[in-house]
Amino acid sequence: MIDFNEVPNDSNNSFELIPAGTVARVILTMKRGPEVIPDYSTQPLFKQGQTGTKWLECEFTVVGGAYDKRKFWQNIMVDGGKINPESGMPWCKEIGIRTFRDIINSAFALDPNDTSPEAANRRKVNDLTALDGATFCVKVAVEKGTNGYADKNKMLVALAPNSKEYIGVNTPQMQQPVGQPQVTQPNVAQPQVQPTANNTVPNWAKQ
């Protein structure tokens, strides 16, 4: 018999969310799903809903600062759903590819307006899983819960060096959330997504 009577009851403790507007560096972990979308990956990676929409389940782990090791989760929609009549592409896919581009710009410290050959090459990956484990800078938001679900944290946007709030891997405030006392943190190596001359660019990246 396992007796749980002596386990302390902490059900009355409130779990405080990371405040909206907090800026911090995070590590991206991709949760695997059963669906394959060739434009993004040759591996089963995505999940699909009854309406045909497909998404990638993502886990974000804060690195350093007052919220070190705190996690939040978010689905990035990648396909299906209503079509944008102007582009002929699903709205959620357009949002998804912009999100991945923002993550790449943030992870590799690329200015979004940098169209140099070096920057353009950095934005090419063979497979979306190349971003699994990427470390980058985000602004955190709080999403209001619906249908009885509690409020939760989410990524508002991945920040790039053109933002004054951007926290880079070697900046003095590295990994320190905005509004918190500065804490000196060791450098964290960025995952290397090294494109080669023979890389096959996903179809969406060509548009």
Please give the distance of CA 15 from its chain centroid, rounded to a whole number. Answer: 22
- Give Cα separations from 97 to 37, 40, 65, 161 (angstroms): 13, 10, 29, 19
pLDDT for 10 equals: 61
Q: What pLDDT sits at residue 83?
A: 94
For residue range 165-203, what is the model confidence (pLDDT) as tens digits? Answer: 999 876 544 434 443 333 333 333 444 444 333 344 444
pLDDT digits (tens, 9 = 90+) for 141-154: 999 988 888 999 99
Q: What is the mean pLDDT of the chain?
A: 82
- The candidate with the shortest Cα–Cα distance to 66, out of 123, 108, 18, 114, is 18
pTM of the model: 0.76
**Of 18-27, 38-47, 131-140, the least confident:** 38-47
